[in-house]
Amino acid sequence: MSEPLLRVKGLRTEIPGGPGSVVAVDDLSFDIHQGEILGIVGESGSGKSMTALSIMGLVAPAGRVTAKRMEFDGWDLTGLDEAAMRRLRGREMAMIFQDPMTSLNPVLSIGFQLIEQLRWRLGLSRRQARRQAVELLGRVGISGAERRLDDYPHQFSGGMRQRVSIAMAISCEPKLLIADEATTALDVTIQAQITDLIMRLCEESGMSVMWISHDLGVVAGLCDRVNVMYAGRLAESADAMSLYAHSRHGYTRGLMKSVPRIDRRRQRLEAIAGRPPSLIDLPKTCPFEPRCAYSTPECGAKPAPRRNFGENHIAYCWADLPAEEGVE
Amino acid sequence: MSAVTFAPPERSNSALSLASGQFLGNRAALVSFVCFVLITVACLAAPLIAPYDPVAISLSDKLQAPGMAHWLGTDYFGRDVLSRVLYGGRVSLMVALLVVVASTLVGVPIGLLAGFAGGRVDNALMRIMDAFLTFPPLLLAVAIVGVLGPSIENVMLALALVRVPVFARIVRSSTLSIREETYVKAARVLGSGWVRILVTHVLRNAIAPIVVQITIVFAGAIVSEASISFLGLGAQPPSPSWGRDLNEARRFLEDAPWLLFGPSIAILVSVLSVNFIGDGLRDALDPRAWQTLRRATARGSAAQGATPGRSQ
């Protein structure tokens, strides 16, 4: 396989605090290939967003990021200073956020925000930038783009605003787009439109996407590969098909069971008992062990091994999970 | 019920025209603006339109009631009050204007920097500002003028200095909340540097409290200048100033109450109109308020005036 667009090895993000530093991301390794959509799944506080911010170089000064390797498109991100990172941000990698209501400046017209970005990052003239902005809005599916350029964020609906955010993010044709819960605040039909849009943009431009979500359904439909994170660590990583067909980690299993299914009406949802652990002084052993339905004696004693289950499917788990429990 | 048309409101391409439309639609602001312009023009044109020399003493005419010869009467030295009000406005308005400009230009960047940088920079800057605030403003101004010597330039300097912390504090607190907004985060992930973020995002969103503060400071400066001049530290007699003349008029409250009218009405009207103008500007600079206006116009029921969704 060719060199991945983004290669992360041994990423660790620490936020120093009062009683002890919080290890938000611990020993995380993954790759994103060109044109690939990687899903990152996990509950709140599992380090999904911190992973994104670490890659973008936006954790400092609150926290400290270390990594054995962190390479993006030939750049060594671990060695770049803030000025160099700033040149990458927006041009090579961009990010969109959960809340489309607040991710656009309310007092500037969306045209102004788009055009400014284009003129400043790409050095376009006012007229070129305006033409480009209209085209971008058209690409993300905003009709009457020319007319809507002078409208303000509050004149758009939530889904439309998210489209504008996407237009801003892809304005400089980044190689990597990080979407942090980009559809969580939208209703389901809009959610589907946005994921369709993302897929189409990927196909058109060969852009890679890191799709952060806690919605397994959306991830299943959109992503090529999925990383499941728990307590700042990677629990399982697999092709989407393989993961949903046969998950190999107790946490992934738990997550799948807690999704309501239309074909099992009377089934009670199984919540995962307990709460996520505190990220301060977490033991080296599997952090999910206390809540795991499949835990074995080794789980609490030794760090979980990295196990391979066929091509591109790894899980950090001691237990051999039973084959099929009605999860497909 | 009359037919309600939901025709899309007329779209104008320029933010400026929408903003000015909003401002002109605010009657109080519009009237105030006209008043203020009239006062300013009249004061600037004082040498052309003032009926008398403002400092010419004519003891035979002292303390005359308003009449055809002297529309606003004469003071203890027989000087024409109307002429003094016109000339005095030049001093008072000039002081207020320069105080506002200077304290805004210094205070706003300090507040932006403190709020955005946080940590030690914030602490250092704001403790200095707090130190200024511990003094009663008038007393500090008097002390500064006392050290530098009484003159109208030093009054301006002192008054501006005293107002800097006010702007710094207001802008800092706005900055603290705006920097946490998602659009600031979004700007960062798209590669904006902090200067760009401060100017296009933070400052642009903090404009409302700044404009309101400007009007307050402008009004306050007129009054403060009056107080300092009264103490003999500002405008030196016999040169006119609204505040000084007002304070002089107090001595003749029983014999010649009309002496109060000219300067006090001048102060009242200019301060009031500046406040209304500030109100109108604040709304005119907020695109979310334009929406309400447009909607209201489109539905033809401005009276129902839905409040704009601030939380958006």
* pLDDT per residue as tens digits for the range A12-68: 999 887 777 889 999 999 999 999 999 999 888 888 989 999 999 888 778 889 999
Q: Please report the DSSP string for B219-231 in residue order.
A: HHHHHHHHHHHHT
**Is B183 in contact with A103 (CB distance < 8 Å)?**
yes
* pLDDT per residue as tens digits for the range B191-210: 888 888 998 899 988 988 89
The domain containing residue B197 runs over which residues?
A: 23-298
In a domain, B196, yes or no: yes
d(CA B190, CA A114): 11
- List the single residue in A with minimal CA-CA distance to B118: A61
Shortest distance between the Cα of A226 and any Cα of chain B, in A, equals 23
Q: Please report the DSSP string for B82-129 in residue order.
A: HHHHHHHHHHHHHHHHHHHHHHHHHHHHHHHHHHHH-HHHHHHHHHHH
**At A249, which amino acid appears?**
H
Instruction: Tell me whether A126 touches chain B (CB under 8 Å).
Output: no
Q: Cα dist. A134→A111, A122, A164, B98, B141 in Å?
A: 8, 16, 11, 44, 55
- Higher-pLDDT residue of A202 and B3 is A202
Number of Cβ within 10 Å of residue A74's Cβ equals 7
Mean confidence (pLDDT) of chain B: 82
Instruction: Tell me whether B16 touches chain A (CB under 8 Å).
Output: no
The pLDDT assigned to B7 comes to 44
d(CA B126, CA B173): 11
Coil, strand, or helix at residue A138?
helix
According to DSSP, the β-strands at A225-230 and A37-41 are: parallel
DSSP β-bridge partners for residue A138: none
Candidates B121, B183, B200, B210: best to mutate against A (most CBs of A within 10 A) is B183
pLDDT higher than threshold 90 for residue B51: no
A152 to B200: CB separation less than 8 angstroms, yes or no: no
- Higher-pLDDT residue of A192 and B312 is A192
**At B259, which amino acid appears?**
L
The pLDDT assigned to B173 comes to 94
N- to C-terminal Cα separation, chain B:
32
CA A75 to chain centre: 20
The pLDDT assigned to B294 comes to 53
In a domain, B88, yes or no: yes
pLDDT bucket at B14, cuts 50 / 70 / 90: low
A106 to B205: CB separation less than 8 angstroms, yes or no: yes
Instruction: Tell me whether B285 touches chain A (CB under 8 Å).
Output: yes
DSSP β-bridge partners for residue A95: A178
Query: ∠ CA(A246), CA(A248), CA(A249), 5° rounding?
Result: 135
Q: Please report the DSSP string for B252-275 in residue order.
A: TTTT-GGGGHHHHHHHHHHHHHHH
pLDDT higher than threshold 80 for residue B304: no
Shortest distance between the Cα of B130 and any Cα of chain A, in A, equals 27
Residue ranges of the alpha helices (H) in B118-238? 119-134, 137-148, 152-178, 182-189, 194-196, 204-205, 207-230
Q: Cα dist. B54→A2, A87, A140, B78, B80 in Å?
A: 88, 64, 69, 10, 6
**At B65, which amino acid appears?**
A
Shortest distance between the Cα of B163 and any Cα of chain A, in A, equals 27
Q: Which of A252, A258, A230 is nearest to A240 (CA)?
A: A252
B207 to A89: CB separation less than 8 angstroms, yes or no: no
Mean confidence (pLDDT) of chain A: 88
Structure tokens at B222: 């007129």
Q: What is the share, in percent, of chain A residues with pLDDT greater than 90?
A: 39
- List the single residue in A with minimal CA-CA distance to B193: A86
Structure tokens at B267: 């102060």
pLDDT bucket at B42, cuts 50 / 70 / 90: very high
pLDDT higher than threshold 50 for residue B309: no
Give one word for B12, left, alpha or beta, with left for phi > 0 and alpha for psi -120 to 50. Answer: beta
Lowest mean pLDDT among A22-26, A46-50, A239-243, B1-5: B1-5
pLDDT bucket at A1, cuts 50 / 70 / 90: low
DSSP label of B198? I
* pLDDT per residue as tens digits for the range A166-185: 999 999 999 999 999 888 88
d(CA B170, CA B118): 15
In a domain, B309, yes or no: no
Nearest to A103 among B14, B183, B192 (CB): B183
* pLDDT per residue as tens digits for the range B71-88: 888 887 888 889 999 998
* pLDDT per residue as tens digits for the range A64-112: 899 999 999 988 998 888 889 988 998 999 999 888 788 899 888 999 9
B13 to A150: CB separation less than 8 angstroms, yes or no: yes
The pLDDT assigned to B4 comes to 47
**A51 phi, psi to nearest 5 deg:** -60, -45
The pLDDT assigned to A325 comes to 53
Burial class of residue B268 (count of CB atoms within 10 Å of its CB; 0-12, 13-18, 19+): exposed
d(CA B278, CA B52): 34
Residue B200 with chain A: CB contacts under 8 Å: 105, 108, 116
Residue B182 with chain A: CB contacts under 8 Å: 97, 99, 102-103
pLDDT higher than threshold 90 for residue B17: no
- Higher-pLDDT residue of B128 and B54 is B128
Provide the CATH number for the domain around residue B112: 1.10.3720.10
Residue B10 with chain A: CB contacts under 8 Å: none
d(CA A209, CA A224): 10
Instruction: Tell me whether B309 touches chain A (CB under 8 Å).
Output: yes
- List the single residue in A with minimal CA-CA distance to B19: A107
- Higher-pLDDT residue of A121 and B307 is A121
In a domain, B253, yes or no: yes
H/E element holding A208?
strand A208-213
According to DSSP, the β-strands at A314-316 and A306-308 are: antiparallel
Instruction: Tell me whether A51 touches chain B (CB under 8 Å).
Output: no
**Is A74 in contact with A23 (CB distance < 8 Å)?**
no
Q: Cα dist. B158→A60, A259, B216 in Å?
A: 41, 67, 17
d(CA A255, CA A234): 14
> What is the arrangement of strands in the sheet containing A208-213, beginning at the earlier edge strand?
A93-96, A176-180, A208-213, A37-41, A225-230, A233-239, A314-316, A306-308
Instruction: Tell me whether A183 touches chain B (CB under 8 Å).
Output: no
Q: What is the share, in percent, of chain A residues with pLDDT greater than 70?
A: 97
A101 to B312: CB separation less than 8 angstroms, yes or no: yes
Residue A56 with chain B: CB contacts under 8 Å: 189
H/E element holding A32?
strand A22-32
Instruction: Tell me whether B182 touches chain A (CB under 8 Å).
Output: yes
Nearest to B186 among A87, A154, A165 (CB): A165
* pLDDT per residue as tens digits for the range B216-263: 898 888 888 878 877 778 777 778 888 888 878 888 888 888 888 888
Nearest to B191 among A87, A152, A153 (CB): A87
* pLDDT per residue as tens digits for the range B109-166: 999 999 998 889 999 999 999 998 888 888 888 888 889 888 888 889 989 998 999 9
pLDDT higher than threshold 90 for residue A312: no
Instruction: Tell me whether B8 touches chain A (CB under 8 Å).
Output: no
Residue A156 with chain B: CB contacts under 8 Å: none
* pLDDT per residue as tens digits for the range A318-328: 888 877 554 44
Q: Is the bond preceding B238 in cis, omega lying within 30 degrees of 0?
A: yes
199-258 of B, contacting A, C-beta below 8 A: 200-201, 204-205, 207
- Count structural domains, chain B: 1
Q: What is the dihedral of CA A163, A165, A167, A171, to 10 degrees?
A: -170
Nearest to A102 among B14, B181, B290 (CB): B181
Shortest distance between the Cα of A19 and any Cα of chain B, in A, equals 20
Instruction: Tell me whether A86 touches chain B (CB under 8 Å).
Output: yes
**A87 phi, psi to nearest 5 deg:** -70, -30
Coil, strand, or helix at residue B11?
coil
Instruction: Tell me whether A211 touches chain B (CB under 8 Å).
Output: no
Candidates A103, A160, A165: best to mutate against B (most CBs of B within 10 A) is A103
B183 to A109: CB separation less than 8 angstroms, yes or no: no
